[in-house]
Amino acid sequence: MSAPGELRVPVLPSGTRRRLVHGGFIAIALLYVGILVIAPLIGIAWAAFQAGWSTIVSTLKQPDVLHAFYLTGVITVITVIVTSIFGVIVALVIARDRFPGRALMSAAVDLPLAVSPVIVGLMAVVLFGLGGWFEPWFTSHGIRILFAVPSMVLVTIFICIPFVIREVVPVLQEVGVTEEEAARTLGASSMQTFFRVTLKNIRWGLLYGIALTTARSIGEIGAVLIVSGQLTGQTETATLYVLRAFDQFQDDQGYIVALTLALVSIVLLVLIEIFKRRQERTQRT
Amino acid sequence: MSTQTLERPAAPPPAPPGAGRRPSVAIRSALARWGLRGTALVYLGLIVALPTVAVITRGFQDGLQSLRDALNAPGAREAIVLTLVLAAVTAIINVIFGTLIAYVLVRYEFPGRAWLSTIVDIPFAIPTLVTGVMLRALYGPNSVIGGFLEGHGIHVIFAQLGILLALLFVTLPLVVRTVQPVLLEIDEAEEEAARVLGATRWYTFRRVVLPKLRSGIAAGGLLAFARAIGEFGAVVIVSGNIIGKTLTAPVLIFQLASQFQPNQAAAVATLLFAISFVLVLVTERLVGARNKDAV
Amino acid sequence: MTAAHQMTGTPIRVENLWKRFGGFEAVKDVTFTAEAGSITALLGPSGSGKSTVLRMIAGLEEPTAGRIWMEGEEHTFKTVQERRVGFVFQHFALFRHMTVAQNVAFGLSVRKQPKSQQRARVQDLLELVQLTGFRDRYPDQLSGGQRQRVALARALAPQPKVLLLDEPFGALDARVRQELRRWLDDLHQELGVTSLLVTHDQDEALELANRIVVMHEGRVEQVGSPDEVYDEPATPFVAGFVGSSSVLHGHVVDGHVQFGDHRVPGAGHLAEGEPARAFIRPHDVRVTTTPLGGSLPASVERIVNLGWLSRVVLRLPDDQVLTAEIPNDELGGVEVGSSVSVDLRRAKAFPSAAVEDLELATEMTATPAGP
């Protein structure tokens, strides 16, 4: 039809066909997400409510369930506080300070993202378990790290380190130092400058990072499973409870607590989306 | 009087830096800088560097013996192979669909677009264990769909398909959110120019967009792979951990650790960790090169 | 030496200031003073070190060597906060999460002034900068010019002893720049705060400043009034940078610079027979169609009509280029391609020095070609 060697560029299809093709792409995307993500959510809601309302209520009132939620909450709060405070400090150093080894520091921050949680649990075992580097010191002082809450907090902190830092660093870089310089020329001390200018500017990035940390901390299973020793009522988080429930064929309870966790995560997700949108908006101004 | 003419100087060089500065000022600023730096270094050193080194040391404390023992454990080799294969399949599938979803989110306007974007982030927020539970609820032998599929010989729970679904779920947002910013960066003007010249969207995508997207897609795929080889929570509930069939490397490490074989666990862990770490480094290189303007 | 420079009231004195960044010397041996109530401009191209000098005076950078005095007191080692200077940044640096009123009040609230006092002062300042209706707006709701006025109000609020402005109009549109320049002049008349202004725009410096410190590559080239700097440039750089000039190369003969048959006075300070370059202002060039003895022959290459005068680009027989600006009613018969006679009134002569100076001169001769 066309001469050999002539460039053949496909012709634009008619309007209807084009719309069908685009619609097709959108449909595929929606279908994939629907099957992969939405369906399981519906599944768990259905399974939980299958158990009946009274079971739901009684499960949520069980002492070991309540303790599990409580423990998850405590670990999460501590993790959020520690990773936020130190995270902001590290972010300030990475974004503003220039010194050899800065790249290494940045890589260290990303390391927890690459590591499987079971390996993190293993790290704690290697450090604090029998024959571990720190074990003798803690044992001689009568402090239990492993198979107790402290190790669970430590592994969760490890896993959550990157979130705040990775969200705050780009904001710090984007915002720059001139506002802080202006504050200093107006007489503000370093503390005043930090709290009144810097912190306000990283606000949304920080909150976004905190929301991500909270979600991750609530959902942690691999590492805490290894270090907890699974002592019911003492070192069992909500996720560990669910695991045990299924192990012990208490599927109904498992579904109910899992659904609760899913609902909490959805609320967190909404917050995450809000903070993310706010952060993007600030970046653009 | 007020006009000064300067000769090109034969002026003497200035006093060495720091000369004439009050020592307390120099100390004050150095302390402030090192205070912050030091805190950061100690925090990361203690929490990240130390444990990493500890595991690697433990794993190879007895040379390669621990690794050999671990690999000789029943189902160990199969576990590692299975993990790598499933992670690769996950990465490939999610690269295709993830890129499609990212493209749809960036280039199209349609009702429910914000919803789609939010739903894509769900796996970031949901605990991995809950993911496994959800899959079990949906495809378990007691459920409607599960029963139906089993009747036709398709096993999801306690089979590799279930693991794959779990891995696809948790890695989807990784790919989408890695590809999206790259797509956003690409100037739509180039695509429009191609279409004005008569190209279809697919042609434009293939010849104009895709080449630029390559590094973003590769980064997304690598991140998904690295994440997938380490996934525990979703897999442990869904797979049944059957030796030789559905046992994955992370679960193997867990089992070795609970059986008080920390050295072997550490050896396998170091192996797995080395693979993921290299992957993440490569990804940083690919993605970091684009984000250099932010620095 | 110290006693003489400790005159109470000299708002700013900078002595032998040096700044090194790693291997790079940004500021080399800079010395100057600023009189009370004056506006002193630090004028120079980018990279001349002028912003660095300003920041060292503010305390935002530490000098590698040298000393800074303000109002007779040594400030070299004082912190930024202790110096109580007002600083206006090129890109405004307004606190984006605070309203205009909160921005202006910042310097006062940091010093824990009572709220009522703060409010009164903010009101006064907003009136001064003519932005009274904007107190509750946020920076991203303001135009560039408005933002800079807020920045100025903010800097003035704590009653600084000195006002430092770092290319304050650099980020604004040309028209806004002109408006604000005039407005700053008026403001300064009213307030009388000693001001130090960094700029690369020589029109701005010539218009606003009482004294100009011309800087180039980290060094001070000349310190003087605008007239002095314009009419009596001390170095080839100043001659080329301030105002436009053509540069012609010739030889020194009897106190004049000679090119061919023509000579122009102004080389009295140079040695006889030395090769020299003459910087010639466009308005010091006379062009006639009738040949005159002792004048330079030239051909007209281009004429650009600028309204009431024209810029005429002339090519000399030895291929040098000369630019003249002639009022249109004095053009009489001068057209593109015509041969004319050129008479140079005045020139500022300097020795033809090293290669780098030659390159600078080539840059200068190339500039007058634009439309």
Give B107's contacts in chain A (Cβ within 8 Å): none
Burial readout C246-272 (b: 16 or more C-beta within 10 A, e: otherwise): bbbbbbbeeebbbbeebbbebbeebee
Phi, psi of A62 (to 5 degrees): -60, 140
Query: How many angstroms separate the CA of residue B295 from the nearest CA in chain C?
Result: 19
Say whether pLDDT at C327 is over 80: yes
Write down the CATH superfamily of domain A53-284: MetI-like (1.10.3720.10)
Tell if the CB–CB gap between A186 and C107 is shorter than 8 Å.
Answer: yes
Q: B97 and A32 in contact by Cβ < 8 A?
A: yes
User: Going by C-beta distance under 8 Å and a sequence separation of 6 or more, which residues neighbour residue B133?
Assistant: A44, A242, A246, A254, A255, A258, B237
The answer to whether residues C250 and C187 belong to one domain is: no
User: How many angstroms separate the CA atoms of C221 and A221, rounded?
Assistant: 70
Sheet harboring C246-253: ordered strands across? Answer: C262-265, C256-259, C246-253, C275-280, C348-351
The reply to whether C205 and C276 lie within a common domain is: no
Instruction: State phi, psi for C338 to the nearest 5 degrees.
Output: -75, 155
**Which whole number is the average pLDDT over B285-293?**
57
- Which residues numbered 199-218 in B keep a CB inside 8 Å of some CB on A? 199-203
d(CA B201, CA A26): 14
Q: Which two tokens stand for residue A239?
A: 């996720």
Give the mean model confidence (pLDDT) for residues B24-40: 74
Q: Which two tokens stand for residue C235?
A: 């170095």
Q: B109 Cβ partners below 8 Å, 6+ apart?
A: none
Q: Of C177, C199, C231, which residue constitutes the final position of a domain?
A: C231
Instruction: Give pLDDT tens digits for B50-64.
Output: 888 888 888 888 778
Q: Is residue C54 part of a domain?
A: yes
Q: Are C305 and C298 in contact (CB under 8 A)?
A: no
A92, A119, A240: best to mutate for the B interface, most B CBs within 10 A: A119
Question: What does the angle CA C114 – CA C119 – CA C124 come to, to the nearest 5 degrees?
Answer: 130
Q: What is the pLDDT of residues C281-312, one digit of tens each?
A: 888 888 888 877 777 888 899 999 988 989 99
In a domain, C115, yes or no: yes
CATH label of the domain that carries residue C336: 2.40.50.140
Least confident range from A158-162, C15-19, C276-280: namely C276-280
- Do residues B257 and A125 make contact, with C-beta atoms less than 8 angstroms apart? yes
Structure tokens at C133: 């209706």
Lowest mean pLDDT among B73-77, C109-113, C168-172, C226-230: B73-77
Q: What is the ipTM of this complex?
A: 0.81
Going by the DSSP 8-state scheme, the letter that residue B46 receives in this structure is I
CB pairs < 8 Å spanning B and C? 49
| B2 contacts in chain C (CB < 8 Å) | 211, 223-225, 228
Number of domains in chain C: 2
Nearest chain B Cα distance for residue C223, angstroms: 5
Q: Which residue of B has its CA nearest to C28?
A: B14
- Contact call for residues A48 and A263 (beta carbons, < 8 A): no
- In this model, does residue C367 exceed pLDDT 80? no
Taking the CA of residue B4 and the nearest CA in chain C, the distance in Å comes to 6
- Asked if residues C328 and C268 have their Cβ atoms less than 8 Å apart, the reply is no
Contact at CB, A184 and C81, closer than 8 angstroms? yes
Q: How far apart are CA B52 and CA A115, in angstroms?
A: 10
The shortest CB-CB distance from B280 to any of A11, A113, A219 is to A113
Q: What's the burial of B153, exposed, middle or buried (CB within 10 Å: 0-12/13-18/19+)? A: exposed
Select the residue of A178, A192, A285 nearest C110 (Cβ to Cβ).
A192
Domain that holds residue C174: 2-231
Residue C363 lies in a domain: yes
C94 plus C56 within the same structural domain: yes
In angstroms, the CA B210 to CA B212 distance is: 5
Rounded Cα distance, B15 and C76, in Å: 15
Phi and psi based region of residue C72 (left: phi greater than 0; alpha: psi -120 to 50; beta: remaining): left
Contact A285 C96 (CB under 8 A): yes
pTM of the model: 0.81
C208 pLDDT more than 90: yes
Question: Residue C210 class from Cβ within 10 Å (0-12 exposed, 13-18 middle, 19+ buried)?
Answer: middle
Amino acid at B74: P
Q: Above 50 in pLDDT, residue C371?
A: no
What residues of B are in contact with residue A129 (Cβ under 8 Å)? 262
Contact C209, C181 (CB under 8 A): no
Residue C15 pairs with which residues in a beta bridge?
Answer: C67
Tokens matching residue A3: 């001469």
Nearest CB to C91: which of A178, A183, A188? A178
Reference C305, options C281, C280, C325, C275; nearest CA is C325
Residue C240, in any domain of the structure? no
**Domain boundaries along the sequence of chain B:** 22-59, 65-290
Burial of C324 (0-12, 13-18, 19+ CB in 10 A): buried
Q: Are residues C175 and C263 in the same domain?
A: no
**Pair C36, C126 in one domain:** yes
Percentage of residues in chain B with pLDDT exceeding 90? 19
Asked whether A165 and A91 are in contact (CB, 8 A), the reply is yes
Task: Identify the pLDDT of residue B76.
Answer: 85
User: Which positions ≥6 away from B63 have C-beta within 8 Å?
Assistant: none
Strands of the sheet with C85-88, listed across from one edge: C85-88, C162-166, C194-199, C39-43, C211-216, C219-224
Residue A257: which H helix or E strand, with range?
helix A251-284
Q: What percent of chain A has pLDDT over 90?
A: 43
- Tokens for C163? 């006002």
Give dist(CA A264, CA A259) in Å, integer. Answer: 9
CB-based contact, B23 to chain C, within 8 Å: no
pLDDT for B71 beyond 90: no
- Per DSSP, helices labelled H in C93-224 are 100-110, 115-128, 144-156, 174-191, 202-208
Neighbours of chain A (3+ CB pairs under 8 A): B, C
- What pLDDT was estimated at residue C115? 92
pLDDT greater than 90 at residue B91: yes
Residue C370 in this model has a pLDDT that exceeds 70? no
β-bridge partners, C279: C247, C348
- State residue C64's pLDDT score: 93
Does A209 contact B at CB distance below 8 Å? no
Is the domain spanning B65-290 CATH 3.10.105.10? The answer is no
CATH of the domain at C115: 3.40.50.300
Number of H-type helices and E-type strands within chain A: 14, 0
- Same domain? C10 vs C84: yes
Task: Supply the pLDDT for residue C369.
Answer: 44
Is there a single domain that holds both residue C72 and residue C109? yes
Which of helix, strand or coil describes residue C64?
coil
pLDDT at A10: 52
pLDDT tens, position by position, C92-137: 999 999 999 999 999 999 998 899 999 999 999 999 999 999 999 9
**Residue given tokens 């992969």 in the structure block:** A36
- The domain spans of chain A are 16-50, 53-284
